[in-house]
Chain A
Amino acid sequence: METLLNDFSVGLFFMQAFILLILIVLMRKFAWKPILDALQTREDGIQEALDSAEKAKLEMQNLTASNEKLLQEARLERDGMLKEAREMKDNMIATAKEEAQAQANAMIEQAQIAIEGEKNAAMAELKSHVAGLSLEIAEKVVRQELSNKDKQLALVDSMLADAKLN
Chain B
Amino acid sequence: MVATKSIKFLVVFVLALTSFTAFAQDDAVENNLVDSPDEIREYIAHHLKDSHDFHLYTDNASGTHYGFPLPVIVWTSNGLKTFMSSAFHHDDNGEVVVDKDGTKIVKYHTKLYELEEGAAALSFDEDHHPTNASKVIDFSITKSVFGMLLTGLLMLLGFGALARGYKKGNTIPKGFSRVLEPLVIYVRDEIARPNIGDKKYRKFMGFLLTVFFFILILNLLGLSPLGFNVTGQIAVTACLGIFTMIIYVFSGSKDFWAHTLWMPGVPKILRPVLAVIELIGFLIIKPFSLLVRLYANITAGHFVVMSLMALMITMKAAFGPVASTGVSLLLSIFIMFIEILVAFLQAFIFTMLSSLFIGMAVEEHDEH
Contact = CB atoms under 8 A, between A and B. Distances in A.
Whether A and B touch directly in their complex, counting CB atoms under 8 A apart, is answered as yes
A20 B166 contact: no
A147 interface: no
A4 interface: yes
The main secondary structure of chain A at its interface with chain B is helix
Interface stretch (B7-15, B30-38, B98-106, B141-149): B141-149
Nearest to A29: B206
B329 interface: no
B202 interface: yes
Interface stretch (A31-39, A56-64, A69-77, A122-130): A31-39
B145 A15 contact: yes
Contact of B235 (A9, A22, A31): A9
A12 B171 contact: no
B54 interface: no
A38 B159 CA distance: 13
A23 interface: yes
A11 B140 contact: yes
B155 interface: yes
Contacts of A45: 171
A26 interface: yes
A22 B153 CA distance: 12
Contacts of A15: 139, 141, 145, 148
A136 B43 CA distance: 182
B239 A13 contact: yes
B138 A9 contact: yes
A15 B142 CA distance: 10
B162 A35 contact: yes
Interface stretch (B115-123, B207-215, B264-272, B352-360): B207-215
Interface in B94-133: 111
B159 A31 contact: yes
Interface residues of B, number: 46
A11 B160 contact: no
Contact of B210 (A9, A23, A38): A23
B152 interface: yes
A21 to B, nearest CB: 8
B139 A31 contact: no
A24 interface: yes
A162 interface: no
A12 B210 contact: no
A12 B144 contact: yes
A19 to B, nearest CB: 5
Nearest to A14: B139
A28 B111 CA distance: 35
Contacts of A27: 155-156, 159, 206, 209-210
A42 interface: yes
B145 A32 contact: no
B275 to A, nearest CB: 27
A23 B147 CA distance: 13
A16 B210 CA distance: 13
Nearest to B48: A7
Contacts of A12: 50, 138, 142, 144-145, 233, 235-236
B206 A39 contact: no
Contacts of A4: 234
A165 interface: no
Interface of A: 4, 7-17, 19-20, 22-24, 26-28, 30-39, 42, 45
9 contacts: A7-B234, A8-B235, A10-B235, A11-B74, A11-B75, A19-B148, A30-B160, A35-B162, A35-B184
Given A12-B144, A14-B139, A27-B209, 14 more contacts: A7-B233, A9-B138, A12-B138, A13-B235, A23-B156, A23-B210, A23-B214, A24-B206, A27-B159, A28-B206, A31-B163, A35-B163, A38-B167, A39-B188
